[in-house]
Amino acid sequence: MRIDIVSIFPEYFAPLDVSLIGKARERGTLDVRLHQLRDWTHDIHRTVDDTPYGGGPGMVMKPDPWGEALDSVLASDEGTPRLIVPTPSGRPFTQEVALRLSEEPWLVFACGRYEGIDSRVMAEYGERLPVDEVSIGDYVLAGGEVAVLVMVEAVGRLLPGVLGNVRSVADDSFAPGAMANLLEGPVYTKPPVWRGREVPEILLSGHHGRIARWRRDEALRRTSANRPELLADLDPDTLDKRDREV
Ligand code: SAM
């Protein structure tokens, strides 16, 4: 997968050099290209923002550098990418969205700052390619860089060969299938007793069927405790009698 990221702080993306994503880049599974938006300005101050029309506090990112930057990124003949614009006013970024994006060959991320990017930029590129305005949660960050790091990591770990054990994706919270709308329950490793606290006996039993049942019970309990609103969205066809009792 190719990923282009346009930002006034390309140095924010140093974490993409390490761990799973760093290794995926080394192997060539992920081709991440960083671009400095200010390279497409033409004044001595390399200005990317201006005052908002209609008044009010804050500054808005100017359309001109964004237009030149995106035209330049799109100029390569590798097909048509999907443009992702992080914004708190976008549609929620979920595991389902991450999965869908992981099937795309090419993503371009446009990192806003200040009060965001002039809306005509999204309107302009929306006529040429798929554009998604996406929020990573109901809070406001100072810029799109952290949101893009979140999305690149969530998408990148789903690419074939990035995770050592592909099965762990299916067991994750929110994974489509058995874990859709469920949170993963508690996990344990050795030693069996730590500071007097024992690992639940069932996990040491070697009985795979009962362990799977216990894990599902715990997932239902944790979801009910931490995210009760998710339970309403559970597919009734996936629930058995025991699920309903938990
Ligand atoms: N005035 C904007 C609003 O209220 O919707 C907030 C702008 S925010 C200070 C600056 C930039 O941070 C946004 O353009 C976006 O790129 C990024 N950002 C902030 N919160 C975000 C979130 N929850 N999800 C995705 N991006 C976010």
Of 49, 64, 68, 172, the catalytic one is 172
- 236 pLDDT band, cuts 50/70/90, is confident
Rounded to 10°, the helix 63-74/119-126 angle is 30
Is residue 79 domain-shared with residue 184, that is, in the same domain?
Answer: no
Q: Does ligand 1 lie within 6 Å of residue 136's CB atom? A: yes
pLDDT tens string 203-232: 999 999 999 999 999 999 999 999 999 999
The predicted pLDDT at position 246 comes to 81
Q: Does ligand 1 lie within 6 Å of residue 7's CB atom? A: no
Q: Are 14 and 117 in contact (CB under 8 A)?
A: no
Q: What are the structure tokens assigned to 197, written together?
A: 């606290």
Say if 161 falls within a structural domain: no
Is residue 26 domain-shared with residue 59, that is, in the same domain?
Answer: yes
Q: Are 158 and 99 in contact (CB under 8 A)?
A: yes
Which of these, 149, 142, 144, lies nearest to 37 by C-alpha position?
144
Three-state DSSP at 72 gives helix
pLDDT tens string 112-159: 999 999 999 999 999 999 999 999 999 999 999 999 999 999 999 999
The predicted pLDDT at position 164 comes to 83
- ipTM of this complex: 0.99
Domain stops at, among 92, 122, 156:
156
Is residue 9 domain-shared with residue 116, that is, in the same domain?
Answer: yes
| Contacting residues for 168 by C-beta, under 8 A, at least 6 apart | none
Domain of residue 186: give its range: 167-245
pLDDT tens string 64-100: 999 999 999 999 878 999 999 999 999 999 999 999 9
Is residue 34 domain-shared with residue 93, that is, in the same domain?
Answer: yes
pLDDT tens string 36-48: 999 999 999 999 9
| Contacting residues for 161 by C-beta, under 8 A, at least 6 apart | 24, 27, 29
Give the torsion sign (CA, 19, 100, 143, 60). Answer: positive
Say if 37 falls within a structural domain: yes
Verify whether residue 115 is a known catalytic residue.
yes
